[in-house]
Every structure is written in C-alpha cells, then in structure tokens.
Amino acid sequence: LGSRLLTAAILDSRWALNALLYSLRKMRLKAVIIVTIAMNLLQFLIIFALPLNPGDEIAKNLCRQPFNSSSVLQKYKHLAVSSDAPGCAEQGVDILIRGGTAVDAAITTLLCNGLVNMHSMGIGGGFILVYYNASERQSYVLDSRETAPAAAREDMFVNRPAIDKITGPLAIAVPSEIPGMYSAWKRFGRLPWSKLFTNAIKMAESGTTVTPTLAKEIRLIRPYLKENYALRLVLSDNSTGRWKKEGDRIIRSDLADFLRLVAEEDVCQPSLKVLTAMADDLAEMGSIITLNDLLNYHPIWRKPIRMQIRRGPFANPKTDFEMHAAPPPSSGVLVGLVLNMLSKYNYSSENDKLCQRGYLYYHRLLETFKFAFGKRSHLSDEAFLSENATKLLKRLQTLKFADELQSKISDEHTQDLSYYGSVWSTGNQEGTSHISILADNGDAVAVTSTINTK
C-alpha cells in the first residue's frame, strides 16, 4: 500500500508538473504573440508619425518649450555696450554719457577687459576694429593686429618643443594694442586721451577679481610658469606661493604705472625709455622682438567689406541687410557667408529654430560652420593673399557661392572633413574677446581683441 501511494503521488506530481509546464508554454506563447504585436504596432506608429523627409517637413507635435536664454535680456532706447568682462560695459556707457564717441567708449572698455580677462586680451596683444559713422553712412576698419618681429623665420620652431609655439618668448608677436587705440582715438575720439585711462589705472592699482575662466586658465598654465618670474608675481601669492584662485584679487602696480605714463604722454607710442625697458625685458626672456620692432609698428586702415545679407530664402535688395566687415586677416566675410547660407532655410523666429526640431537646426548650423572654416583655411593677411585666395575672397561675398555651399549640406548625415574644403586644421583656438558699442547718434563699434594664447 505504501509503495502504491508513493507511485500515485509521483505520478500525480508528474502530471501536475506537466500541466504547469504546459500552462507556462501557453503563457510564453501568448507573451511572445503580445510582444510581437506590440513591436509591429510601435514600428507602424514610428513610420507614420515621423515625416518621410525630416529636412522639409517640421513635426509640430515635437515642439518643445519656448527657447529661454540664461542671459538677461535688456532693451535699450539710446545706447548700449556689450562686454564679456564684469563691470567693463558700465565703463563704456559712462564714457558715452559724458559725451565721448563710440571709439572713446571702445578704448576704455578694451582697457578694462584687458585687466579682467588678461588670459584673452590686453595691451600685449592687438585688435581689429570696425567703426560705423551713422551721419556719413560709412564704415572704417582698423587693423591693429600684432606682427611678426623682423627676426622671425619660417623654421624658427623646428627642433624645438611644440609648446614654444604657444607660450614663451618666441611665441610673442609685436604688441600693437596701444598704437591701435591711439590711431583710432586720433581720428574718431573726442574726450581727452588721458581720461580714457582713468578707470583702468585705478583697477590695476586696487586689483581685479579672478573670474572663473581666468582661474581655469591659471590652473592650465601652471606647469609653464615655473621659469616665468614676472607672471608668477602676478598670478600667485608671494608670501605663500599659492596660485590665485577664483575670487582672489590681482594687483598690478607696475601695469598701472605704465598705463599712467602712456596716458600722460599723449603720444602714439610710449616713450623711448619705456620701449627700451620693454625690449630689454623681452630680450632677457629670450624674445627676438627688438626696440626697432616696437618703434616701427604702425596700425593699418583697411577698406571694409560690404556684403548683401538676405533676410530670407530669396534676395531682395530693397529689404536685405548690408553687412560691413573687416577684410582678412579678420573672418568677417565668413560671418556673412554663414548668414547667407542659413537664410536659405527661412528661419523666421527662435520658435522655428529651437522649438520645432531644434536638433535639425543645430545640425545645419554646424555643417554651415564647417564649410566656413574650410574656406577660412585658404585666407590669410590681406597683404599676402595669393591670386586664388583673392578670387575666393570675392566669391565668398556672393549669394551664388553661399547657395552652392548650402546645397551640399545633407539633413541626413555629416561628411568626411575633406568634403568641407579645408587645407589645414585651425585647432582649438582661444584667447579672444569682443566688444560691441552703439552710441545714441547711431555710431557703432565692433572690436575683437586677442593675445592668441592657443
């Protein structure tokens, strides 16, 4: 009896197990069927929910929230100054309110910027300035970029560490910021030359606050400052040796004395005594810049480029904009090229660009920039443009050429770098600052200053 009960129990268990397995198989089959139907349904919905050609049809149901910038939007009725250094725009506005010209305001703002953003610009660098005279409806371009010393050679960095091209005495070009400021003021300034330096001198004496970006740059260049005593004095605490960090103060008494001397002399160049001292310091560091290089530097007034900028996909000379830009070595013509290429897409508002399929807008924008930078690699200083580069410069200003490049942009994919026409890579360039000024009489200044640190 016991063995029969055991056998029956085993058989009953086997039946139960088989029944369970059968039920599971049925459930698994149902699950597979359900998942398969769901996947097919999802695929169907994706196919019919998305446009067949995302480049031509905007899916309105994908619209996100209206675009909001983190920058504070301000509207001005009379005048405006834009600067990327804290407190510097206010100094430019003060100059305009006191009766200064747009150029006066630009000089004061540049001096302030150079103190706050010393890693981007300053009197050791140079600038390119575009000045628009509203009463004349005429623009003027001042090229006050640094030039190579007379002793510079094409092979001067051969068999030297790569870092020497970026930092150190051989990487320094002839400083041109002050001569350029004076040249612009002499032609279009109104307030006394010395008054434009008042705030900068006070800032250098009392100190400026280390910004987050400057603190970052100090951390990056520490390894290269061990042998640079002058910079260590500025960027570190002399008593502890600790490098300056965000929020610390940087006092530059020597620079204040130099700016005071330049302001008081009212001459295009600092005194021979000051220039000689500068040349001696540079020579001690190993620079090839000589006193003659400093004395012989002269900014150049260049003819501005005037380009038609479309307001939409079709040109209309009566309603289109006219852009006034600096010629090479500035990339102003490429800004116009980018604007004309993007105009073919007929974006009429921030909502069009960023709310409805914003990712497609950014794709098109990046592709446009790639073509612009590809053409940038063919340009150089206007004084040294080849015949082919001169022809290219003229083509870049035409709507026809912008349309040719725009037609090469695919909304579906990107291309190999060679597709964009670059002959060399620009690398990751840094060390530049820009200021924009609009005076109450309609005059305007756009000036880009740089020390080209990278």
CA distance 174 to 156: 16
Judge whether 147 counts as a catalytic residue. Answer: no
Distance of CA 413 to the CA centre of its chain: 25
Q: How far apart are CA 12 and CA 202, in angstroms?
A: 99
Please give the Cα distance from 92 to 98 (Å, whole number): 10
Whole-angstrom distance, CA of residue 139 vs CA of residue 27? 80
**Look-up of token digits 């206010």:** 90
Measure the CA–CA gap between 88 and 92, rounded to whole angstroms.
7
74: which 2 tokens?
A: 């301000």
| HSE toward the beta carbon, residue 56, CA cutoff 13 A | 3
Q: Answer yes or no: is 451 a known binding residue.
A: yes
Q: How far apart are the first and last CA of the chain?
A: 96
DSSP string computed for 14-32: HHHHHHHHHHHHHHHHHHH
- Dist CA 438 CA 172 (whole Å): 33
Of 108, 109, 368, 432, which one is the catalytic site residue? 432
Residue 219: count other Cβ atoms within 10 Å of its Cβ: 10
Calculate helix-pair angle for 198-206, 102-116, nearest 10 degrees.
10
145 is in an annotated binding site: yes
Per DSSP, the three-state class of 154 is: coil
Residue type, 125: G
What's the CA gap between 191 and 99, in Å, rounded? 7
Q: Which two tokens stand for residue 138?
A: 């005429």
Does 452 belong to an annotated binding site?
yes
Does 426 belong to an annotated binding site? Answer: no
Question: Do the Cβ atoms of 420 and 371 come closer than 8 Å?
Answer: yes
Beta bridge partners of 438: 80, 444
Could you tell me what percentage of the chain is helix, strand and coil, using 3-state DSSP and rounding each to the nearest 5? 50, 10, 40
416: which strand partners?
none
Strands (E), 106-227: 126-133, 138-144, 208-209
DSSP three-state, residue 226: coil
Residue 250: φ, ψ to 5°: -120, 115
What are the residue numbers of the active site? 432
- Which residues belong to the annotated binding site? 145, 450-452
- Which residues belong to the annotated binding site for L-glutamate? 145, 450-452
